């Protein structure tokens, strides 16, 4: 009570000190009241914002189906073994403490037995880290990192031992996960086999942090089938189109090729969101998790493709000797629907789910001239060779060519069994023999001399005008990546290129111009149906995965007319008859495609490729069937083939054999006539 006595005695200095202390206490009390009462709600809100994190939850991706509902791409559950770092924190701390002690001991000699410091009598958490030994912040952080890696490596190694497989995790991968996704599980085995799942469940592992999780994964039931059309996925964990609404993202994918890429938004659906509680150290707290927005599944994509026909097409293309590089397009000339589209060589889209190894990418995917990811049906630009004579024939007949008029082709002095055409001093070789040719014989023997002679009289303007009407030099609008080819559509283009009559001679037989197999299929389809050029259709509709889902179906109508070819019916009749004879006549170059009881109309083609020190061939067979009522257009293109008749026509025959056999089954015929709904 000495202080009170002094205050009572009127000690002025002490009284001022007392009032100062009292004022300070009042200010402190006022501050506490302001923080806890007035600003309490705001701080609580900030604390919640800091403690809860939003996790992006991917939606179930829509399937890709054929016209009858068979699956090209679907989702399947996959078991993944995850490691939750938050459950390993006690082990991290112990490993760090032991490592710190060992590091200090390694830098300071052991104390003598005769000396005992005052600090040795204190509890461990009050004791100094060693006389004169100080660890820098960088050393401590490195020690923490090494401690985490040691603990995780031991756990992962133990998992591998129990599963009898080598398992390991890289220090860099662990560090990246710890810094950016600490609240999410670390995958240690992404695809557990059924045997491994059974072993894990049977043994009831008690390893801390190790859990078996189920995740949906994209699956392609028929590896490589229609892969260039269907496409593949690629990892998309960090792409954020939601403007930073999510703190974390679970593993997700986006389309990287084909329909998977072209309709990625529709197939992907709308992601959901899960709220997780995270402590101050960044670890997830199991309590307090909740789903704040359910993911909305993507739409199923129904194509116009026929899976069974696609199998037959790829089997037929696979019969080409050697390392085949080519493409096949099958189209319905009545509607413009694509029934099959194949490109070779193929690849397995499932390889892209986990990522293609660097060496595999270099050895296979970047290999020339294979380029397996290239869809040769839409992206390959090739000289059409003599298949262009189909378009040339329309232009000539519409210009007044009498199909009965004849032309005498002279023999080549260097090879008397073959013809030649003299254009000034230039001698153009002809694979057809010398002799008298009318239109029919010139077409089925593929006489270059006949078509060059009449095309030079026709002139540039008419020839390129008719080619443009069939869509050459223009994209087809198929909806997946494609090229437009190289075909002049105006006289200005001809003048800019400085082309002369010699170039016109080359173009008339399918040289110096390029087109895609799909463009040729559209053009041949117009000849088959009497002059209607359709926009080809690959997608029939987009529909919800759940039939009870009220989401409206998005239909893509068929029979969308692009151009109506204004040509006389007699013109198409003459050309169709000549194409039929090219297969039926023993002199025809397409006789290798002949099938008894199923009239096929075709035209072969072979084009030479020169440049960059390389000389090669592109071989073709352009066709439709049956002659009486065309329902199929089949285009076969093979790089480095021997000839259109010898390499491509047999492939087409195999495809037509398949459709001819199945059309004998009434139920299949009904399904084909009905088509997609």
Spell out the domain ranges in the chain.
56-104+135-302, 307-348+375-674
CATH topology of domain 307-348+375-674: Beta-lactamase (3.40.710)
Residues 6+ apart with CB under 8 A from 259: 64, 229, 230, 231, 267, 301, 303, 479, 480, 538, 539
Q: Which two tokens stand for residue 650?
A: 């047999």
* DSSP conformational letter for 296: B
Helix (H) or strand (E) run with residue 199 in it: helix 194-203
Residues 6+ apart with CB under 8 A from 148: 85, 88, 92, 95, 174, 178
Residue 542's pLDDT is: 97
**pLDDT beyond 70 at 41:** no
Residue 164's pLDDT is: 87
**pLDDT beyond 70 at 590:** yes
Per the model's pLDDT, the better-predicted residue between 434 and 609 turns out to be 434
Q: How confident is the model at residue 122 (pLDDT cuts 50, 70, 90)?
A: very low
Per the model's pLDDT, the better-predicted residue between 216 and 386 turns out to be 386
Is the alpha carbon torsion for 343, 348, 351, 357 positive or negative?
Answer: negative
> Can 56-104+135-302 and 307-348+375-674 be said to share one CATH topology?
no
Q: How far apart are CA 370 and CA 639, in angstroms?
A: 10
Residue 568's pLDDT is: 96
Residue 599's pLDDT is: 96
**pLDDT beyond 80 at 523:** yes
pLDDT tens column, 544-576: 999 888 999 999 999 999 999 999 999 999 999
pLDDT tens column, 58-77: 889 999 999 999 999 999 88
Query: Average pLDDT of 599-617?
Result: 85
Q: How confident is the model at residue 231 (pLDDT cuts 50, 70, 90)?
A: very high
Residue 194's pLDDT is: 87
3-state helix, strand, coil in the chain (%, to 5): 40, 25, 35
**pLDDT beyond 90 at 216:** no
Q: How far apart are CA 154 and CA 217, in angstroms?
A: 29
Average pLDDT of every residue of the chain: 87
Q: Which CATH superfamily is domain 56-104+135-302 in?
A: Penicillin-binding protein 2a (Domain 2) (3.90.1310.10)
Q: How far apart are CA 618 and CA 582, in angstroms?
A: 19
- 240: nearest Cα among 56, 451, 418: 56
Residue 240's pLDDT is: 53
Residue 670's pLDDT is: 43
Residue 127's pLDDT is: 47
601 in Cβ contact with 580 (< 8 Å): yes
Query: Average pLDDT of 610-623?
Result: 83
**pLDDT beyond 90 at 304:** yes
What is the percentage of the chain residues whose pLDDT exceeds 90? 58
Burial of 32 (0-12, 13-18, 19+ CB in 10 A): exposed
Residue 453's pLDDT is: 96
pLDDT tens column, 330-354: 999 999 999 999 999 999 999 998 8
Q: Which residues pair with 422 in a beta bridge?
A: 427
Q: What is the DSSP string of 442-508?
A: HHHTT-HHHHHHHHHHH-HHHHHHHHHHTTTTS----SS-----B---SHHHHHHHT--HHHHHHHH
């Amino acid at each position: 009570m000495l202080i009170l006595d002094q205050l009572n005695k009127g000690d002025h200095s002490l009284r001022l000190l007392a009032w100062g202390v009292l004022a300070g206490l009042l200010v402190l009390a006022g501050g506490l009241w302001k923080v806890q009462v007035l600003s309490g709600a705001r701080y609580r809100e900030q604390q919640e914002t800091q403690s809860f994190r939003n996790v992006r939850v991917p939606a179930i991706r829509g399937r890709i189906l054929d016209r009858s509902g068979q699956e090209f791409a679907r989702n399947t559950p996959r078991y993944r073994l995850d490691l939750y770092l938050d459950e390993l924190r006690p082990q991290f701390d112990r490993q760090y403490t032991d490592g710190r002690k060992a590091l200090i001991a390694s830098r300071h000699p052991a104390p003598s037995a005769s000396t005992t410091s005052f600090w040795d009598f204190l509890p461990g958490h009050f004791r100094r880290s060693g006389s004169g030994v100080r660890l820098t912040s960088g050393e401590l952080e490195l020690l923490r990192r090494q401690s985490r890696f040691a603990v995780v490596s031991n756990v992962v190694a133990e998992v591998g031992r129990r599963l009898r497989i080598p398992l390991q995790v890289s220090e860099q991968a662990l560090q990246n996960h710890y810094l950016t996704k600490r609240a999410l599980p670390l995958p240690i085995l992404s695809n557990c086999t059924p045997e491994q799942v059974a072993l894990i469940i049977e043994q009831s592992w008690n390893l801390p942090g190790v859990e078996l999780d189920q995740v949906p994964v994209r699956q392609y039931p028929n590896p490589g089938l229609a892969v260039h059309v269907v496409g593949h996925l690629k990892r998309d964990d960090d792409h954020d189109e939601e403007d930073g609404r999510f703190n974390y993202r679970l593993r997700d994918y986006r389309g990287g090729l084909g329909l998977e890429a072209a309709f990625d938004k529709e197939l992907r659906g709308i992601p959901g969101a899960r709220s997780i509680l995270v402590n101050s150290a960044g670890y997830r707290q199991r309590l307090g998790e909740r789903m704040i927005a359910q993911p909305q599944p993507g739409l199923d994509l129904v194509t116009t493709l026929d899976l069974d026909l696609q199998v037959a097409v790829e089997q037929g293309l696979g019969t080409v000797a050697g390392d085949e590089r080519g493409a096949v397009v099958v189209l319905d000339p009545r509607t413009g629907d694509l029934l099959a589209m194949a490109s070779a060589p193929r690849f397995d889209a499932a390889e892209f789910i986990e990522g293609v190894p660097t060496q595999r990418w270099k050895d296979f995917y970047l290999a020339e001239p294979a380029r397996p990811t290239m869809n040769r049906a839409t992206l390959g630009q090739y000289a059409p060779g003599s298949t262009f004579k189909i378009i040339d024939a329309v232009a000539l007949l519409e210009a007044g060519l009498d199909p009965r008029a004849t032309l005498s082709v002279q023999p080549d002095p260097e090879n008397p069994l073959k013809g030649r055409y003299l254009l000034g001093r230039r001698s153009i070789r002809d694979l057809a023999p010398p002799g008298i040719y009318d239109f029919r014989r010139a077409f089925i023997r593929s006489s270059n001399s006949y078509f060059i002679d009449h095309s030079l009289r026709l002139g540039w303007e008419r020839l390129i005008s008719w080619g443009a009407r069939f869509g050459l030099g223009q994209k087809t609008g198929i909806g997946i990546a494609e090229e437009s080819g190289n075909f002049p559509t105006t006289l200005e283009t001809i003048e800019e290129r400085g082309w002369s009559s010699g170039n016109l001679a080359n173009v008339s037989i399918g040289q110096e111009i390029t087109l895609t197999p799909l463009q040729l299929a559209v053009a041949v389809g117009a000849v088959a149906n009497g002059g209607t050029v359709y926009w080809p259709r690959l997608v029939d509709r987009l529909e919800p995965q759940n039939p009870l889902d009220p989401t409206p179906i998005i239909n893509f109508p068929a029979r969308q007319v692009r151009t109506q070819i204004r040509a006389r019916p007699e013109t198409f009749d003459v050309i169709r008859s000549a194409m039929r004879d090219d297969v039926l006549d023993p002199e025809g170059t397409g006789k290798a495609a002949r099938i008894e009881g199923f009239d096929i109309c075709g035209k072969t083609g072979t084009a030479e490729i020169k440049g960059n020190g390389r000389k090669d061939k592109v071989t073709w067979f352009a066709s439709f069937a049956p002659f009486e009522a065309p329902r199929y257009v089949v285009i076969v293109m093979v790089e480095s083939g021997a000839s259109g008749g010898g390499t491509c026509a047999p492939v087409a025959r195999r495809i037509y054999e398949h459709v001819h056999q199945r059309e004998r089954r009434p139920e299949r015929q009904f399904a084909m006539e009905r088509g997609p709904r």
